[in-house]
């Protein structure tokens, strides 16, 4: 029994009994042979490692030649902040994933005790603090101390909602989201 993947078991000139007409007139190179059907495989410098001949990996080649800035660039996807030091792929001032100032302000006024407006803007630490404080305040409502905790968080959220609505888009800290993207009007 011969191994179908063993090149020594199938010399180049042998056929397996089935001869299908080929589109190249019988000039095809046998698989697993040392001859490459690609013209570019013979040209160009070879790099060490496990790669196909004729193909280069630009980042590794540039780094090996002492040019670490050349090669692959990090892709920019809408909704993510561009990498500092690299040119962005968008017009200055154009943002794809802007949050609404009105939505954030109204969420702060009406659902602010649950931290919904801060979750919306990406300030998850502050949002979790408001949510946990509200839950603790409701649980301690029986001891009357919970009323003060709940009222304090409600006033905090109300003021944040009003400040977000009154802020100019792009002004810090109320006119931007957690990534620094200005809120849309």
Whether the CB-CB separation of 115 and 154 falls below 8 Å is answered with no
Whether the CB-CB separation of 131 and 115 falls below 8 Å is answered with yes
| The pLDDT value given to residue 161 | 96
Closest-CA residue to 28 (of 37, 20, 19): 37
Lowest mean pLDDT among 42-51, 104-113, 131-140, 163-172: 42-51
Can you tell me the distance from the alpha carbon of 182 to that of 175, in angstroms, rounded to the nearest whole number? 6
> Domain map of the chain by residue range?
101-166
| The pLDDT value given to residue 97 | 82
pLDDT band at 136, cuts 50/70/90? very high
At 19-73, the pLDDT tens digits run 555 555 555 555 555 555 555 555 555 555 555 555 555 555 555 555 555 444 5
Predicted structure pTM score: 0.50
């Amino acid at each position: 029994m011969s191994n179908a993947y063993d090149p020594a078991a199938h010399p180049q000139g042998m056929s397996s009994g089935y001869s299908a007409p080929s589109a190249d007139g019988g000039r095809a190179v046998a698989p697993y042979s040392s001859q490459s059907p690609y013209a570019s495989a013979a040209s160009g410098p070879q790099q060490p490692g496990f790669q196909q001949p004729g193909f280069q990996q630009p980042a590794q080649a540039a780094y090996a030649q002492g040019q670490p800035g050349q090669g692959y660039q990090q892709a920019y996807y809408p909704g993510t902040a561009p990498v500092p030091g690299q040119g962005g792929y968008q017009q200055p001032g154009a943002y794809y994933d802007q949050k609404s100032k009105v939505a954030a302000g109204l969420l702060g006024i009406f659902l602010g005790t649950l931290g919904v407006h801060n979750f919306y803007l990406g300030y998850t630490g502050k949002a979790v603090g408001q949510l946990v404080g509200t839950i603790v305040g409701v649980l301690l409502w029986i001891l009357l101390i919970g009323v003060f905790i709940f009222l304090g968080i409600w006033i905090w959220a109300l003021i944040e909602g009003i400040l977000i609505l009154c802020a100019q888009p792009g002004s810090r800290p109320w006119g931007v989201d957690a990534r620094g993207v200005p809120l849309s009007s």
